Chains A and B, each alone.
Chain A
Amino acid sequence: MGLIEAIILSVLAASTPLLLAATGELVTERSGVLNLGVEGMMIVGAACGFGGAWLSGSIIVGALCGMVAGILMSLIFALMALGLAVNQVATGLALTILGIGLSGLIGAGFVGERITPAPHLHIPGLSDIPLAGRILFGEDGFVYLSIALVVGVWWFLYRTRAGLILRACGDNHVSAHALGYPVLRIRLYAVMFGGACAGLAGAYLPLAYTPFFIPGMTAGRGWIALALTVFASWRPARLVVGAYLFGAVTILQLHAQGAGIGIPSQFMSSLPYLATIIVLVLLSRARTGGSTAPAALGTVFVPDR
């Protein structure tokens, strides 16, 4: 396997959890809800996903466990932010703090255990084509799933009536409410979808990326996913570009460290975080003609009866 091929494969693997989590958050934010708890939902998804796979011996069961865990976490958020009209920023932070603690409790029994990571697709003939074969036809299932998910979300948001209503809730919940749409229920579904995606993204890490669980293994990926939705201007297609760019930064700094160039590893490791800041600044600056964010993003909605 050539170096280029290896790099592209690892970029795809590093990008997939970002893409999964960011796609879920994009739908949540499009409905007008800012859930800052992505990191917390991811890390609980990672712990439950690994636990499920380790106990059952099945990657699919593990992935489902991660998704269910993510949904349960998102329901706590929904109860608070939608049901009790609590500030969404503070609730999201609380969810992350809770998630980090919970994942430590859940994962304590699994630390040090290993599983067989998710198998990679192999189509005889196609997967053996030099260079492109492994990249196109030799990934693990999550990579294909993440791309299918983005396409599905794009289709849903822009090509279905339900997607239009969801976007309407995110842009003007008062009008959507006046038209008779159940704003809070739609937002609940969007938050749950975001939770499922974040849980799955978290589960990807111990199921496919590294075959073991360590506490804190999400290492800020949930926050980077949040930044990606801004980067993408809340559009699915740009999300793909952003996720792969960030995956590439992550992998390139790893390879640079491996190549033994004279820069301390800590500086290289800080690149994805610095890149996030720079991207946020550049993008926010470029947008002089008003924000592209959903207009009602992060605002509390209490229906009057």
Chain B
Amino acid sequence: MQLVLEKRAERSATIALISPLIAIGLTIATLCIVFAVLGKNPIAALAVYFIDPLTDGYSLQEIAVKATPLVMIAIGLSLCYLANAWNIGAEGQFLIGAVAGSWLAVKTQGTDAGHWVLPAMLVLGAAAGALYALIPAICKVRFGASEILTSLMLVYVADLLLDYLVRGPWRDPQGFNFPTTAEFDPVATVPTLIEGGRLHLGSIIALFVVAAGAVLLGRTIKGFEIRVVGAAPRAARFGGFNANQLVLLTFAISGALAGLAGIIEVAGPVGHLQPGISPGYGFTAIIVAFLGRLNPIGILIAGLFLALTFIGGEQAQIAMKIPLDVTKVFQGILLFYVLACDSLILYRFRLISSSPKVQSGAH
């Protein structure tokens, strides 16, 4: 038996639509095996993971809160990936955005600064994220250095910078030596949408980002250029599109969105700057982007789904003592299945039984 790929005459539209669902189904099946290996009842564990969080208001809000940064970052990443520019350092851009915005919050702390503080923080966060993302983009465009490696290295640098700031100059003097800034003032905090709830303004901003992404990709020339440069670089050259400029542009947009997500997370749900503000949002967003088929609406749905796995994972840890790492394994397996199913769009898989001799002769 041998697996052979046959190129389809054209992309299969049906499979393009259902492939994420096949991937999720396969992942859940695999997850059952993981649960069984860990000695847990798979059905009960699945219920805790995927059903329970949907049944109470608090968890539903929490899903929206977790989906907010994932969706915002993934929209930016999808632009990069469509243009065939590999920004995998969104985690670092997220942290830098959080740091830059927090700078203003820390500096205005205890002063009678007005309501301009939060908008200024958001702008700072987005700008810092964009600039940070431009470093690997410029290194690629000007010097040809692999943006994959440079953007990833900058994640570690951003992490260390944040760590230095909250242990050093920005540490809360009343914080019992914990590495954290003081709680931000109310004017430096993202307002919640429901009194006493967790849902905050950032989720609305994320919806705007989704809409803007859809317009950019579907209705503008720039969006068209981005897709052509990625899908058919030669055609793009003939069309006179500037590929380098698009690398810079997509990196800057994705960096800005990641930075914005970072400062919203810090000024919103977290409320102060500290290490560990991100449970890997920047990396999970890569999965969100692919699961959403690099399509804004798809990303919104995929972001909510992966947020569900974060919340479900936490609840499974509390209720059934299932390690948190299962969530990461789940996310990794999911990405594999998504990519494998995407291959179905372009190829037909065929199992061919033939004598190996004939096969090796044909090769």
Contact = CB atoms under 8 A, between A and B. Distances in A.
A50 interface: no
- A85, A99, A264: most-surrounded residue (chain B CB, <10 A): A264
Contacts of A80: 336, 339-340
Given A100-B328, A226-B149, A277-B153, A93 B335 contact: yes
Given A101-B329, A267-B164, A269-B160, A284 B363 contact: no
B13 interface: no
A177 B363 contact: yes
A182 to B, nearest CB: 5
For chain B, what secondary structure do more than half of its interface residues adopt (helix, strand, loop), or is it mixed? helix
A108 B343 contact: no
A84 B343 contact: yes
A31 B317 CA distance: 43
A76 interface: yes
Contacts of B328: 97-98, 100-101, 104
Interface in A39-69: none
Q: Which size class do A's interface residues fall under?
A: 35 or more
A118 interface: no
B336 A98 contact: yes
Interface in B17-75: none
A104 B325 contact: yes
A280 B160 CA distance: 21
A212 B150 CA distance: 30
A281 to B, nearest CB: 5
B339 A87 contact: yes
A219 B159 CA distance: 12
A110 interface: no
B12 interface: no
B144 A284 contact: yes
B144 A270 contact: no
A280 B340 contact: no
A302 interface: yes
Nearest to A283: B145
A275 to B, nearest CB: 9
Contacts of B135: 277
Interface stretch (B125-133, B184-192, B283-291): B283-291
A260 interface: no
B347 interface: yes
Interface string A99-127: 11110110010000000000000000000
A182 B360 contact: yes
Contacts of B119: none
A264 B164 contact: yes
B156 A302 contact: no
B325 A101 contact: yes
B145 A277 contact: yes
B180 to A, nearest CB: 16
A305 B327 CA distance: 41
Contacts of B363: 177, 180, 182, 303
Given A276-B153, A277-B154, A90 B339 contact: yes
Interface stretch (B3-11, B110-118, B201-209, B239-247): B3-11
Given A273-B157, A277-B139, A94 B336 contact: yes
A36 interface: yes
Given A177-B363, A266-B164, A97 B335 contact: yes
Interface in B283-339: 283, 286-287, 290, 323-333, 335-336, 339
B163 interface: yes
A101 B332 contact: yes
Nearest to A79: B340
A234 interface: no
A193 to B, nearest CB: 21
Contacts of A266: 160-161, 163-164, 167
A125 B23 CA distance: 62
A295 interface: no
B238 interface: no
Given A84-B5, A182-B363, A305-B4, A270 B339 contact: no
A37 B238 CA distance: 35
A267 B160 contact: yes
A223 interface: yes
B152 A223 contact: yes
- A93, A284, A285: most-surrounded residue (chain B CB, <10 A): A93
A97 B287 contact: yes
Contact of B283 (A97, A219, A269, A282): A97
Interface in A252-305: 264, 266-267, 269-270, 273-274, 276-277, 280-285, 287, 291, 302-303, 305
A289 to B, nearest CB: 12
B137 interface: no
9 contacts: A80-B339, A89-B148, A98-B328, A99-B332, A102-B332, A267-B160, A276-B153, A280-B145, A283-B145
Given A94-B332, A264-B168, A273-B157, 8 more contacts: A97-B335, A101-B325, A101-B326, A104-B325, A270-B156, A277-B145, A280-B139, A302-B5
